[in-house]
A and B are shown apart, each in its own frame.
Chain A
Amino acid sequence: MNFAQWLLALSSLGLALLGLLFIAALMVYGERKILALLQDRLGPNRAGPFGLLQPIADFLKLLTKEHFVPPFADRNIYIIAPIIVPFTALLSFVVVPVSDDWWLADLNIALLFILALSSLRVYGIMLGGWASNSKYPLFGGLRSAAQMISYELPMGLALMGVIILSGSFSLVDIVAAQELPFIILQPIGFIIFLVCGIAETNRLPFDLPEAENELASGYNTEYGDIKFAFYYLGEYIGVLLIAVLITVLFLGGWHGPWIPGVFWFMLKTLTLIFLFFWLRTSLPRLRYDQLMNCGWKFLLPAALINLLVTAFLGLFWMEG
């Protein structure tokens, strides 16, 4: 690669990063507005027109706070842990195709790449809870680890159905194969992936690692200032990632009539993000044992059966 190509690659990466951070900031605002809408409130409306500058105000507040590390914490890990979470979530977006000719990288193992990064994201939360050296974060980190292990399995197995149908790990190929969205061919896989995705991003009703009531916000109890902002950013980027992945894997990505593919992509993603916020304000948090039961006794067998049926059908379909 010559200099111009490097420059192009780096600038497009930088633009994507800036765009994602901007979207994450808007999501924070959007979540607060939607929660307010569904709870008979007005939501943020003071900073800027309609409160649109609220995320900037929040960010500046967190940025100007004292950079405090508790004296009992494991200093290095305590500082590194919150960086892992948004880093891994942001990196996953490299392989996501937004439109039929618009993506940063087309890896032939894109799905494995995303699954690997989402497994790594657990370390950010677990190490943060561990390094805080305090009881609530420790429990939050433990729960996070257990939850992620329980939900990675059915998540990966639910994706196997999609891979069998499309015959590829590359997200671009998977979307290209969806003239008929996979939600119709793989309804069980879709539901399993949706549930696991919510569990993966620690959103309600599966936000056990940061249960405010019993764990005093769990793994990030000891975190303040910009380190807390990193966790927060990671959570919202994670939500966006899951929404984008469901769009790409099950809802047919850019496919859709009449309007350009990018807008279809955005529309589907926004609907899913709204669903996430809607679920957050509607459902109570599950108990820990209920969560584990649901993961191991219901989702995993369902994912296995789904994989088995899809594999059989795929076998005859491909032969015939």
Chain B
Amino acid sequence: MNKKQTNDYTLALIKGLGHSLWAVLRHAFVKRETVSYPDIKRSLPLRWRGRIVLTRDPDGEERCVACYLCSAVCPVDCIHLQAHQNNDGRRYPETFSIDFSRCIFCGFCEEACPTLAIQLTPDFEMCERHHESLVYEKNQLLIDGQGKHPDYNFYRHAGVAIPGKAIGEAKGDTSPVDRDNNLP
């Protein structure tokens, strides 16, 4: 390193030192970024992946048809349910529990759900003192509303026959093909 280079280096060093000191000092007069969380709560985006709920359809029935897809897709195996069928042919979960101490809030269950029943909500304030308290049972998960997808009723669009709706009578559904008269 020759003398010229050394001088340039030292000068750049001193200039850089002064510049960074000044740049940092200016930040003393900048607006604070901190949100004083428990006092001021920011509104979360609607697509925030927080506490999981089970929604109902507009008729007030459970949307969940106990297909086990959420349980199967769950990467940490935190969803457990037991399917049951009532007299008119509708399936529903007899028990449904989510272990939030294992849940990683990935949202796979919401994506897997064919009936838009299971949904993640913008709520993360669910601290408990014990792990057992974080296992939510069906009565804690099921809500009265329709969540993010109002006016959607799985049985009104497709699906198996239920009382009041035979196969082919749903919205956008075509009546079933008569096998015997469909020959070429």
Contacts and interface: CB of A to CB of B under 8 A. Distances in A.
A11 interface: no
B25 interface: yes
Contacts of B23: 282
Contact of A283 (B17, B28, B33, B36): B17
Nearest to B17: A283
B30 A282 contact: no
Given A278-B24, A279-B21, 9 more contacts: A37-B27, A38-B27, A38-B28, A40-B30, A40-B31, A41-B34, A278-B21, A282-B20, A282-B24
B129 interface: no
Contacts, number: 32
A47 interface: no
A12 interface: no
Closest A-B pairs by Cβ, 8 of them: A282-B24, A42-B34, A40-B33, A282-B20, A282-B21, A41-B34, A37-B28, A38-B24
Interface residues of A, number: 12
A297 to B, nearest CB: 11
Contact of B36 (A40, A42, A278): A42
Interface of B: 17, 20-21, 23-25, 27-28, 30-34, 36
Interface in A40-54: 40-42, 45
Given A38-B25, A38-B27, A283 B32 contact: no
Contacts of B33: 40-41
Nearest to B33: A40
A283 B17 CA distance: 8
A282 B21 CA distance: 6
B27 A39 contact: yes
Contacts of A42: 32, 34, 36
Nearest to A40: B33
A281 interface: yes
A39 B32 CA distance: 8
A298 to B, nearest CB: 9
A195 to B, nearest CB: 11
Interface of A: 37-42, 45, 278-279, 281-283
A279 B21 CA distance: 7
A39 B28 CA distance: 7
B40 to A, nearest CB: 11
24 contacts: A38-B24, A38-B25, A38-B27, A39-B27, A40-B27, A40-B30, A40-B31, A40-B32, A41-B32, A41-B33, A41-B34, A42-B34, A42-B36, A45-B36, A278-B21, A278-B25, A279-B21, A281-B24, A282-B20, A282-B21, A282-B23, A283-B17, A283-B20, A283-B21
A42 B40 CA distance: 14
A38 B21 CA distance: 10
Nearest to A41: B34
A158 B175 CA distance: 98
Interface centre among A38, A41, A278 (most CB of B within 10 A): A38
Contacts of A38: 24-25, 27-28
B8 to A, nearest CB: 16
B9 to A, nearest CB: 12
A38 B28 CA distance: 5
B172 to A, nearest CB: 54
A276 to B, nearest CB: 12
A278 B36 CA distance: 24
Contacts of B32: 40-42
A42 B32 CA distance: 7
